[in-house]
Amino acid sequence: MSQTATALRIAHFCDLLTNRKHIKDFEGSRNGLQHKGTRPIRKVGAAVDAGAKVFTEAARRGIDLLIVHHGMHWRPVSPVREVRALRQATLKKTGLSLYSSHLPLDAHPAIGNNALIAQDLGLKVVDWFVDYEGLPIACICQGIPLTTLRKRLMASYPRTYKGIEFGATRPKKIAILSGSGRSALAHLKAEGCDTLITGELREEHFNEAQEQGWNLYPCGHYATETWGVKALAAAVAVEFGVKWEFIPTDNPL
């Protein structure tokens, strides 16, 4: 029997499922219930980023509580006061509740972005690496031929796929780090890995890939971080017997 859905109960459920209270995150993430709205919870939404536009769209679609990956308080935003004031005013106007989960939704072994990217690509996770405050946030998978990997990535990320291929044509290991992947690069050699699937990289990483023999696949920060919020919203829907919907923003970055 489903329990009655309230913002506080849903936040508590999400906290437990993602192990939020035991995971240290970047400054500005402020994981958890960021705003308790006035609407009764009949429908839950998922989006990658908090923002006035997505709040308005969520309310238009009948969503009462929105789960996001990047919450209200990330820096830098410019101008800071005006942006935050707009977001707060929009939340108040719409009556939405807002829940945010960043690293807990990157590192989770079942509903995290990296684990779900691996699952989508048919890759087997064999290890985790790139520690942040003791939490390994990136996964390592068994390798497959680049021809196969390339086809699967292009199918999953048709608008944002990029391939920089200077590594093995049949890598033994494939690393995955959603969002910004530069923190993984320094660890690849130690892990015996030359292939990384990620969201975004810096311009100079092309030269480093040439020099160090890497295969790099930056497939979009936004695109690689849609997975976790969808999975968390779906879990909430099952637990509380409510509907859920993903709100895309067509972010190409």
Helix, strand or coil, per DSSP, at residue 195: strand
pTM: 0.96
CATH homologous superfamily for 107-223?
Answer: NIF3 (NGG1p interacting factor 3)-like (3.40.1390.30)
CB 105, CB 84: distance < 8 Å: no
Q: What is the DSSP letter of 176?
A: E
In a structure prediction context, what are the per-residue pLDDT tens digits for the chain, which is 253 residues long? 567 899 999 999 999 999 999 999 998 899 999 999 999 999 999 999 999 999 999 999 999 999 999 999 887 777 888 998 999 999 999 999 999 999 999 999 999 999 999 999 999 999 999 999 889 999 999 999 999 999 999 999 999 999 999 999 999 999 999 999 999 999 999 999 999 999 999 999 999 999 999 999 999 999 999 999 999 999 999 999 999 999 999 899 9
Name the token pair of 130. Answer: 């790139």
CATH 3.40.1390.30 domain locations along the chain: 7-102+226-246, 107-223
Superfamily of domain 7-102+226-246: NIF3 (NGG1p interacting factor 3)-like (3.40.1390.30)
Q: Report how far Cα 189 is from the mean position of its chain's Cα atoms.
A: 25
Break the chain down into helix, strand, coil percent, rounded to 5: 40, 25, 40
8 Å CB contact between 163 and 150? yes
